[in-house]
Amino acid sequence: MNRIRQLFGIKYPIIQGGMVWCSGWELASAVSNSGGLGLIGAGSMYSDVLREHIIKCKKATNMPFGVNLPLLYANIDEHIKVIIEEEVKIVFTSAGNPKIYTSKLQDHGIKVVHVIANKKFAIKCVESGVDAIVAEGFEAGGHNGIEELTTMCLIPLISKEVDLPIIAAGGISSGNSMLAAFSLGAEGIQMGSRFVASKECSAHINFKSKVIDSDDNETELTLKELTAVRLMKNDFFYQIKDAYSKNASVIELKKILGKGRAKKGMFEGDLKNGELEIGQVSALLDDILPVSEIMSQIILEYEEAVLRINKFKI
């Protein structure tokens, strides 16, 4: 029995993280068509763009897919209207309070999953009646919690605390790490970075190439005073770092960040001045593959890892 597979009606408990500028209908439908759960990342979309992606995704797959909805965005109510009108069945919410929208979405037959990074929010999820939790560790790319709890510590902590099915996120890119996540108590995994380095990802090729070329000391969690985010260390990152060393205020940090940085970096491929959100696990990625190959590699690796563990008597 696996509650995550049952909840979504999917073949493999592998979820593609909803990512700004990286996960449109092409990536989401490819993941769903390969037996996982694809998510359209609504965080970088206007509501009419989101509607377009949902419509295209419905045409591209008959399998379940969902939308990732960061609750901190200004046009949130409009997004929710589109999601309900287009009869999306699965929504992953993040970066906000799950109490506000969960029951509204569920009233329309939508399964709601909320992303958390500590115990306090896991308990809020239970109180809000969400259907599952994504527990995202410190090593994850993009927006993240400020407590710095790693996947290795967070998953056992949350699974001890709540009975809800848990999807592990952060540091997962292979069958081995999927097995590790299940060992820790998760029933599903969510991968972002691995799917950035895919053919179907909508990111600029410059960004994808940078991701697969990167080494083990090239990301850092920063901007905790605004919204904590794990970034690649490029010129823009060092500009922030420099501002910190001069005790920059929140207003100054916001000014440096400006508008459209993420689009500039990840979508337009400006590796110098753009914001490049990626996980620590990028150090492990070497190739840009079609989603179907990524999925079958992970399943194969997972099966091999289980065999290896069974041989490995302690």
Binding site for its own copies (CB under 8 A): 2, 5, 12-13, 118-119, 137-139, 147-154, 156-157, 160, 170-174, 176-177, 179-185, 215-217, 220-221, 245, 247, 279-281, 283-284, 299, 302, 305-306, 309-310, 312, 314
SS3 of residue 46 by DSSP = coil
Distance between CA 296 and CA 303 in Å, rounded? 11
Segment (H or E) for 135? strand 132-136
Least distance in Å: CB of 237 to its own copies? 14
Question: Closest separation between CB of residue 174 and its own copies, Å?
Answer: 7
Nearest to 220 by CA among 241, 205, 200: 241
Q: Which is nearer to its own copies, 175 or 265 (CB)?
A: 175
User: Sign (positive/negative) of CA torsion 293, 312, 281, 115?
Assistant: positive
Q: In whole angstroms, how close is the CB of 300 to its own copies at the nearest point?
A: 11
**CA 237 → CA 22, 81, 219, 221, distances in Å?**
19, 36, 9, 10
Q: Shortest approach of its own copies to residue 75 CB, angstroms?
A: 32
Q: How far apart are CA 12 and CA 275, in angstroms?
A: 32
Sheet containing 188-191: which strands, arranged edge to edge?
Answer: 14-16, 188-191, 166-169, 132-136, 111-116, 90-94, 65-70, 38-41
- Nearer CB in complex with its own copies: 27/186: 186
The nearest distance, CB 55 to its own copies, in angstroms, is 31
